[in-house]
């Protein structure tokens, strides 16, 4: 489509070029046209007419017309001598030149052509320009018509008067101003005739042929409701020469009534306006007729032209001066010289300027604001960077970033110090991994991968080997960050030295383990004493029975029944002993918590058995108050027995300390809630004071002189390992303390 | 050597031990009675014949040592043999000071125990005899008049009749008669015999007063 259009344009251009070539190829015929102007060259009407003539000839395509304008100055030089001189001049001047047509402007020039210079241009066709209709009618009927045609200047005076009356409906008198030259007289006559039609309606004040001073005086004191009709003044009553429109200008300024004129040359010099005759159009029309004649037409066959419609023009300043509303002007009127107010004139400039100022100001303001904001932002950025740096360095933290694509690592000085590498050493992920202890490398690699996938946000802990052979624990935390510029992902993070914390943790763990072992051994000491006593009983029985049996056998006859009974007792006691030994073995087992389904009541019965064998219990009675049908709990029998044993021992010691040696210790079980069972050990001691109550389960808190303060701490550790809770309280109904703990049931634990 | 009315008490909270020890005692022809606790034993009437008690140190309620204290307080001459699963030195010292015959570690060898029991019964027998003798002497002392007791005291402190008469403000003749009465009432054949009785009865026999 575009191609076709371009092709079309190209073709058109070619055709245009061709036409131009062709027209250039055919040379226009040369013609000489003489133009005779009646007045001097400065005459305003001539200027316009000349312009029209030149324009019309220039735009014609047929002839190459050369113009010969002559200004006859007939108004200023009115004597016969001048006429003869002019005729002689023209005759001599154009004797050798073939003139193809003559345009004569104004009747005066036509008259000279038809009279004094008749012989100078014999047979040359003439176009009369800007002549009145009556003059044209005279020519039409004369013998000269064969060679002459022309353009009538249709001065529609009646129309002008109608317009004047339309604008000034109350007009009662009309002042007519005209000069003294023949042209002036002619034109004044035309006005006078037109005014005859209004005889009776309008009073005529005839100011024709008066000296200018008189005229000015008269127009300054015209009666109310007058208008001035100005025809033309080339020369006033005193013989003083004027350019008509300049005379008009003087008159209009002096006048106390609006001035009307018929020629467009007057526009802007003091007339109100109306349908104005155009001298330029006269020139154009005349040239057009001349071209027709040059083209071969006979002047006689061309009727007088001049029915042109002229534009309706008004002077805005005069309308204002005489207070004439624009609404009364006939439709299609054009108003010239409109003086706009400063605002009207410069509206857009002002709006533009104001807009510019506003825009500039806004721009400036936003720039300044922007600058201030930016400064503020920069300042706070610097501050926050400072703070960040301060925070990071005071925390001993190192910053780093990793580009996963290249594996290159940027590390802050602190990070490098942490890793034990030089400040200028090139660092990448490979090199970094060599610093990490081999056991931790996989952890680190996996963490990096997962962080990149956004799966990990928690810090990792790993070890690096330092050049001096020591090992440093480091905690690192990273976060992946999308780089919009490169559409890649970067890993940024912080690393901290946690060696001390780690060591402290490990040491604390070791301490705890040691203490637990010590306390365990301590309580094992007591437990084993109880067990030793227990195991001695069957052993004692076995030995005594065996020896009794041996003595029985030595008797004659031996009592076999007695011996049989003795042996079965021995077997029973032996089984009892091996049971105790089995339990003793588990007691010294040091393994971790071994969870199994446990009958809590059974545990308590066994523990109570130990406790009864403890030498401490011989003054205290142990009462069991166990709820039947307690749900099975999940736990380590040995550990739970130890808890019960510790609590009972604790109760006994409390009672011994307070002198209530023959009291009672009550162990009870009950269902605590849906998911757990509760065990309580209640003593008859003095109870717990409030100060101690909060710290009672802490290690090394002991109210007993020889106590290590480990018993209850161990209890808490064990119960919490079972997912239970242990607490101490004072009995409300009687003296003594109650220690209670809960243990989740199997169901509760699963939940 | 053993009296048929001798009796061995076994106090232990363990049924089997109790049963086995009783069986052992019976195998050597000793009468035996067993008790599950100290209080159970204390509830029993005292045995008139020779007896001893085998006590477990550690028992619920009243311990063996407590029971020993109770017995001593009631003036019992019963010999006590202690048994313990794991006796400690302070425990055995305390028991021995309180007059225990033996402190045996379980399990106990039968011969050791049987010897200890026999020894205990023998000691009990002697103690019972000594106690009976002392009772006789005290009865004799009690049969003396107050003047005769005064004379008795002065005689056993080694004073002559003349010295006694001077001291009491009577005649030597009166003293001589009272002295014969004391010898008679105390069933003493000689001055030495009388002094031996005085010592047994706890009467001051020192001669310091004469000097």
Please write the tens of the pLDDT for every residue from B124-159: 888 888 888 888 888 888 888 888 888 888 888 888
Cα–Cα distance between A394 and B36 in angstroms, integer?
75
* Bridge partners, residue A314, by sequence: A273, A335
A6 touches B: beta carbon within 8 Å: no
Q: What are the structure tokens assigned to A280, written together? A: 């330029």
Q: What is the model's pTM?
A: 0.38
A616 touches B: beta carbon within 8 Å: no
Coil vs helix vs strand at A626: strand
Q: Identify from B11, B12, B15, B24 which residue to disrupt to test chain A contact, counting A C-beta atoms within 10 A and taking the largest count.
A: B24
Interface of A with B in 526-565 (CB under 8 A): 529, 532-534, 536-545, 547-548, 551-552, 555, 562
Nearest chain A alpha carbon to B21: A544
pLDDT at A569: 92
Of residues A677, A691, A676, the one with CA closest to residue A728: A691
* Residues of chain A falling short of pLDDT 50: 1-2, 4, 25, 699-700, 705-708
B107 touches A: beta carbon within 8 Å: yes
pLDDT at A2: 46
A663 touches B: beta carbon within 8 Å: no
Parallel, antiparallel or unpaired: strands A488-497 and A398-402:
antiparallel
Which residue bears the tokens 């690592």? A409
Sorted by sequence, the CB contacts under 8 Å of residue A643 that are 6+ apart come out as A714, A715, A718, A719, A741
Q: What are the structure tokens assigned to A207, written together? A: 């100011």
Q: What percentage of chain A reaches a pLDDT higher than 70?
A: 85
Nearest chain A alpha carbon to B23: A548
Contact A237, A223 (CB under 8 A): no
Q: What is the pLDDT of residues A539-558, one digit of tens each?
A: 889 999 999 999 888 888 88
Which residue bears the tokens 């409109």? A338
pLDDT at B116: 92
Predicted-complex ipTM score = 0.76
pLDDT at B7: 92
CB neighbours (10 Å) of residue A196?
9
B70 touches A: beta carbon within 8 Å: no
Residue-by-residue DSSP string for A93-142: HTSSS---EEEEEHHHHHHHHHTTTTTTSTT--EEEEEE-HHHHHHHHTS
pLDDT at A117: 78
Q: What is the pLDDT of residues B34-70, one digit of tens each?
A: 998 888 998 888 888 889 999 988 777 778 888 888 8
Contact B35, B44 (CB under 8 A): yes
Contact A312, A156 (CB under 8 A): no
Q: What is the pLDDT of residues A350-399, one digit of tens each?
A: 889 999 999 999 999 999 998 999 888 888 888 887 887 777 777 778 88
Q: Identify from B15, B17, B81, B91 which residue to disrupt to test chain A contact, counting A C-beta atoms within 10 A and taking the largest count.
A: B17
- Sorting pLDDT into bands at 50, 70 and 90, what band is B188? confident
């Amino acid at each position: 489509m575009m191609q076709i259009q371009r092709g079309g344009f190209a073709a058109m251009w070619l055709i245009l070029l061709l036409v131009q070539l062709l027209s250039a190829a055919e040379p226009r015929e040369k013609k000489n046209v003489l133009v005779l102007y009646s007045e001097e060259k400065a005459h305003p009407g001539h200027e316009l007419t000349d312009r029209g003539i030149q324009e019309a000839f220039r735009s014609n395509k047929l002839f190459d017309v050369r113009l010969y304008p002559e200004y006859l100055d007939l108004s200023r030089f009115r004597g016969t001598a001048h006429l003869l001189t002019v005729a002689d001049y023209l005759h001599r001047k154009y004797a050798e030149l073939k003139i193809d047509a003559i345009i004569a402007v104004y009747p005066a020039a036509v008259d000279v052509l038809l009279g004094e210079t008749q012989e100078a241009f014999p047979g040359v066709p003439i176009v009369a320009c800007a002549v009145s209709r009556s003059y044209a009618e005279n020519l039409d009927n004369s013998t000269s018509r064969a060679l002459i045609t022309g353009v009538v200047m249709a001065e529609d005076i009646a129309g002008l008067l109608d317009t004047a009356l339309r604008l000034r409906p109350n007009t009662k008198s009309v002042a007519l101003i005209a000069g003294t030259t023949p042209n002036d007289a002619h034109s004044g006559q035309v006005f006078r005739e037109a005014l005859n039609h209004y005889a009776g309606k309008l009073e005529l004040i005839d100011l024709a042929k008066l000296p200018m001073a008189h005229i000015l005086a008269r127009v300054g004191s015209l009666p109310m409701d007058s208008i001035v009709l100005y025809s033309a003044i080339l020369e006033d009553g005193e013989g003083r020469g004027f350019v008509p429109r300049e005379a008009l200008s003087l008159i209009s300024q002096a006048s106390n009534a609006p001035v009307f004129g018929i020629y467009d040359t007057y526009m802007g010099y003091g007339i109100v306006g109306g349908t104005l005759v155009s001298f330029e159009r006269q020139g154009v029309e005349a040239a057009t007729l001349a071209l027709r004649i040059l083209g071969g037409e006979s002047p006689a066959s061309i009727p007088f032209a001049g029915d042109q419609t002229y534009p309706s023009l008004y002077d805005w300043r005069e309308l204002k001066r005489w207070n004439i509303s624009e609404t009364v002007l006939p439709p299609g009127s054009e108003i010239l010289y409109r003086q706009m107010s400063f605002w009207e004139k410069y509206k857009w400039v002002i709006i533009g300027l104001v807009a510019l100022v506003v825009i500039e100001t806004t721009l400036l303001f936003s720039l300044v604001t922007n600058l201030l904001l930016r400064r503020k932002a920069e300042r706070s950025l610097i501050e926050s960077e400072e703070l960040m740096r301060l925070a990071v360095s005071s925390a001993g933290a190192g910053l780093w970033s990793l580009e996963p694509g290249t594996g290159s690592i940027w590390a802050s000085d602190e990070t490098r110090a942490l890793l034990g590498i030089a400040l200028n050493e090139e660092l990448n992920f490979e090199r970094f991994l060599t610093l990490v202890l081999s056991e931790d490398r996989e952890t680190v690699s996996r963490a990096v991968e997962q962080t990149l996938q956004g799966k990990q946000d928690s810090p990792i802990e790993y070890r690096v080997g330092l050049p001096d052979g020591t090992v440093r624990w480091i905690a690192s935390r990273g976060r992946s960050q999308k780089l919009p510029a490169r559409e890649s992902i970067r890993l940024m993070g912080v690393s901290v030295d946690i060696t001390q914390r780690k060591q402290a943790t490990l040491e604390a763990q070791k301490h705890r383990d040691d203490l637990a072992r010590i306390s365990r051994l301590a309580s094992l000491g007591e437990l084993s004493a109880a067990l030793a006593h227990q195991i001695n009983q069957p052993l004692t029985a076995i030995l005594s029975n065996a020896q009794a049996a041996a003595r029985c056998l030595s008797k004659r006859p031996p009592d076999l029944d007695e011996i049989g009974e003795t042996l079965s007792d021995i077997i029973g006691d032996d089984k009892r002993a091996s049971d105790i030994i089995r339990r003793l073995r588990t007691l010294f087992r040091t393994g971790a918590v071994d969870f199994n389904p446990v009958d809590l009541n059974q545990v308590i019965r066994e523990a109570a058995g130990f406790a009864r064998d403890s030498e401490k219990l011989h003054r205290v009675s142990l009462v069991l108050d166990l709820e039947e049908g307690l749900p099975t709990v999940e736990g380590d029998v040995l550990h739970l027995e130890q808890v019960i044993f510790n609590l009972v021992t604790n109760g006994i010691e409390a009672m011994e300390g307070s002198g209530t040696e023959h009291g009672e210790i009550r162990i009870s079980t009950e269902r605590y809630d849906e998911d757990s069972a509760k065990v309580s050990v209640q003593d008859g001691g003095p109870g717990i004071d409030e100060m101690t109550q909060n710290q009672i389960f802490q290690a090394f808190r002991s109210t007993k002189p020889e106590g290590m303060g480990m018993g209850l701490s161990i209890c808490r550790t064990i119960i919490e390992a079972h997912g239970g809770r242990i607490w101490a309280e004072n009995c409300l109904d009687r003296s003594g303390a109650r220690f209670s703990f809960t243990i989740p049931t199997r169901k509760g634990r699963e939940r | 050597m053993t009296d048929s009315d001798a009796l061995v008490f076994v106090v232990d909270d363990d049924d089997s031990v109790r049963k086995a020890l009783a069986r052992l005692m019976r195998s050597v022809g000793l009468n035996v009675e067993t008790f599950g606790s100290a209080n159970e034993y204390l509830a029993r009437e005292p045995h008139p014949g020779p007896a001893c008690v085998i006590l477990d140190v550690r028992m619920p309620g009243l311990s063996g040592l407590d029971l020993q204290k109770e017995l001593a307080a009631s003036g019992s001459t019963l010999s006590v043999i202690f048994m313990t699963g794991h006796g400690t030195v302070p425990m055995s010292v305390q028991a021995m000071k309180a007059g225990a015959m033996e402190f045996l570690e379980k399990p106990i060898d039968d011969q050791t125990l049987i010897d200890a029991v026999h020894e205990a019964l023998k000691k009990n027998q002697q103690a019972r005899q000594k106690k009976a003798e002392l009772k006789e002497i005290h009865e004799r002392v009690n049969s003396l008049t107050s003047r005769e007791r005064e004379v008795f005291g002065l005689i056993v402190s080694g004073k002559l009749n003349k010295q006694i008469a001077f001291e009491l403000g009577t005649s030597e003749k009166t003293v001589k008669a009272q002295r014969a009465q004391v010898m008679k009432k105390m069933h003493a054949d000689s001055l030495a015999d009388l002094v031996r009785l005085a010592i047994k009865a706890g009467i001051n026999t020192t001669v310091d007063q004469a000097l």
